[in-house]
Amino acid sequence: MKLVPAGPARSPSTSRAFVEIEELSMEYEAQPGTRLLALDQVGCAIAESDFCTIVGPSGCGKSTLLMLTAGLYQPSAGQVVIGGAPVTGPWDGVGMVFQRDLLLEWRTALDNVLLPIEIKKLPRPQYEDRARSLLRLVGLAGFENAFPEQLSVGMRQRVAICRALIHDPRLLLMDEPFAAVDPLTREKLGLDLLRLTREHPTTVLFVTHSVEEAVLLSDEVLVFGPRPGRILRRLDNELPKPRSLASRSDARFHRLVDEIRAEFQAAGVLS
């Protein structure tokens, strides 16, 4: 619960966090007869406009947490509360980005960005300017009418991020969005994302495998342990903003990265 310098003025007296995850458990039937505990009584709270990264090993239920937050799955126990209201199904105000960009090949970049507007039956002309300005913000001015096949992997993922932000969501859920991108483009994309969320403030829940990425982008880091998924530790990220590639040489960056790695080591994730 801390103030983001570039964020809009918010009353500091709000006692409840924007996203509250309460004793959340999720059990799957992986195969008939074998039940798999993906999340085990996870609890945390995320303040409005916070950039929260979730870092953890593969299969620790990070993605499941995002699905539950979006209301796409029903939890086995516990609940997700958004702005005071429990999530019971898909709710208005969610933007999602996945590892695959999931662009529709037959739509131009602009039309892909406007897909949520079409689905929500909002007036398109009103949002077209916003779509163009989002694309401009991620450096895709002039590519509005390009088809996805004409764009590089990094450019495609930028379009996907614009699509997730077009309807001004209150919560942006990102599931390893840069995992398919080469390392150099990856950092650039991360910093572009920070610039976007500065211009269009929204709460972000960002899942990643990369400890460095989790530290570079976040206000706070949730460290997840191996299955069944649970939060090992919650860390505030005091790395100064705005972040840049130079942030990586900051001593605080390395301290936080080391701290997270030590946490994984203690949990037996790294050996």
Instruction: Note the residues at the interface with another protein (CB under 8 A).
Output: 67, 70-72, 90, 92, 94, 96, 98-102, 104-106, 115-116, 118-120, 147-149, 153, 156, 167, 173, 175, 179-181
> Cβ closer to another protein: 95 or 263?
95
**Across-strand partners of 236?**
220
Which CB sits closer to another protein, 205 or 221? 205
Query: What is the C-alpha to C-alpha distance for residues 185 and 180, in angstroms, rounded to an integer?
Result: 10
- Give min distance, CB of 178 to another protein, in A: 10
User: Least distance in Å: CB of 96 to another protein?
Assistant: 5
Phi, psi (deg, nearest 5) at residue 110: -60, -45
Burial of 146 (0-12, 13-18, 19+ CB in 10 A): middle
Identify whether the C-beta of residue 178 lies closer than 8 Å to the C-beta of residue 216.
no
CA atoms lying within 13 Å on the CB side of residue 164: 28
To another protein, the closest distance from the beta carbon of 72 in angstroms equals: 5
At residue 215, the 3 state secondary structure works out as: helix
Task: For another protein, give the closer residue by CB, 4 or 179.
Answer: 179
Which stretches does DSSP call E strand in the chain? 19-31, 34-46, 51-55, 77-82, 85-86, 94-97, 171-175, 203-208, 220-224, 231-236
Q: Are 38 and 76 spatial neighbours (Cβ–Cβ below 8 Å)?
A: no
C-beta of 160 vs 231, nearer to another protein: 160
Query: What's the CA gap between 216 and 8, in Å, rounded?
Result: 22
**What single letter denotes the amino acid at residue 54?**
I
Minimum distance of another protein from residue 180's CB (angstroms): 4
Q: Looking at beta carbons only, is 193 or 239 nearer to another protein?
A: 193
Q: Considering the complex, state which of residue 113 and residue 256 has its C-beta at the smaller distance from another protein.
A: 113
Nearer to another protein, 33 or 90 (CB): 90
Helix (H) or strand (E) run with residue 197 in it: helix 183-199
